[in-house]
Amino acid sequence: MREVKELTMENDDDGRLRRAIELTLLAPAARRAQLDALCAAAAEHRFHGVCVNPVHVTHCRRLLGHGGPRLVTVVGFPLGENRSEVKSREAMLALEDGADELDMVMALGDAREGRWDRVQQDIAAVVAVCGRAPVKVILETCLLDNAEKRRACQVARDAGAKFVKTSTGFASGGATVADVALMREVVGDALGVKASGGIRSRAFALQLLAAGASRLGTSSGIALLSC
């Protein structure tokens, strides 16, 4: 009864944030205690999921169990400049280790050169090994002009991805309201849009959701809640 009462009294914005947040820890030197705290926080606050590097998937799967927060990991991270065969194999191993969802960095060099057929093939190669596991394609929007962002969204959709995502958080910029709105305009209701990179305030997170984001990748998830 207490849980039902707490859910009923929950702020509507808090509910939207909880359902959208993927609590993220992708630092290369992350320690086991930090991962333990990440998974515990995601479960306690009922976030959508956690996002960790592939080497930590097995450990986090044990911590999260099943039926709670989703376990998300990354592919070709953070540069995207791996061969497609490597990305596909990395995706397969992550799924075998227990990942539920995969965030892959697209082939950024090919995108900047206008080789969109190669970008699409790269994404499709990962999608092909993932079955029902959703693939989110990281565009690294700070490195693209608006025409390239639009084309990248179209290519991700045509390759079978389920989401487009703004950023790795490791480049020169992160999510912006304008980029999220552009991505949502292009994909419509066909794909999800994940905003990530630099989401540290509640006000900004809510602006991103209002612009069309359906997921938020952030290491500041708890701070975004009012309680």
The set of catalytic residues is: 103, 165, 194
Q: Are 62 and 102 in contact (CB under 8 A)?
A: no
What are the CA-CA distances from residue 171 to residues 127, 175, 176, 183, 225 (Å)? Answer: 24, 11, 14, 19, 26
CA pair distance 198, 216, nearest whole angstrom: 10
Q: Which helix (H) or strand (E) holds 218?
A: strand 215-218
Amino acid, res. 220:
S
**Alpha-helical segments (H) within the chain:** 2-9, 12-20, 32-44, 57-64, 84-97, 108-112, 116-130, 146-158, 177-187, 202-211
Question: Distance (Å, rounded) from C-alpha 225 to C-alpha 227?
Answer: 6
Give strand pairing partners of 163.
136, 192
